[in-house]
Amino acid sequence: MDESLMQEIIRANYSGAMSQMSAYTGIAAQALAVIIGGIILWKASAVYHKKKKKERSRNSYFETVYSRGWKRKG
């Protein structure tokens, strides 16, 4: 590393500019993790709901010839 670059980094660290940058980076990483986690939970919920909806098929006990044909056709 170039010595002037090293001095610049040290100066930025002691002036407080570096600590602000690390705080902003941490907040940005947390926001990204929340967004990704939310998308994953949303997709998992959609898959679970679709599976539950498929399982809730209509009970055939009450199905009769009349109930199958009572709606208008066409």
- The whole-model pTM stands at 0.50
CB 12 within 8 A of CB 18: yes
3-class state of residue 32 by DSSP = helix
pLDDT in tens, 54-71: 777 666 666 677 666 666
18-64: per-residue pLDDT in tens?
667 777 888 899 999 999 999 999 999 999 988 887 777 666 666 67
